[in-house]
Amino acid sequence: MNGSLIDSYIEDIAKRIHDPALHGAASVMIGAGFSKNADIVDDELSAPNWEELAVSMFEALYQKPRDEVEMKKWQIQKIKKTSGKNVLKLAEEYKSIFGRNKLNKFIELNINDDMYIPGELHKKLLSLNWRDVFTTNYDTLLERTIDKINVKFNYKILTSQNDLPGSTHPRIIKLHGSVDYTKHYIICEEDYRTYPIQFAPYQQDFVVSLLG
SS (H, E, C) 1-25: CCHHHHHHHHHHHHHHHHCHHHHCC
pLDDT of residue 35: 93
d(CA 93, CA 70): 21
Give pLDDT tens digits for 2-22. 667 888 888 988 899 898 889
d(CA 133, CA 122): 12
SS (H, E, C) 104-147: HHHHHHHHCHHHEECCHHHHHHHCCCCCEEEECCCCCHHHHHHH
Question: Which ranges of the chain have pLDDT less than 50?
Answer: none
d(CA 161, CA 201): 6
C-beta separation of 174 from 159 below 8 A: yes
d(CA 86, CA 188): 10
Q: Looking at residue 59, what DSSP letter applies? A: H
Closest C-alpha among 78, 74, 118, 108 to residue 187: 108
Amino acid at 147: D
d(CA 203, CA 212): 15
pLDDT of residue 212: 59
The pTM of this model reads 0.88
pLDDT of residue 71: 94
Percentage of residues in the chain having pLDDT higher than 90: 62
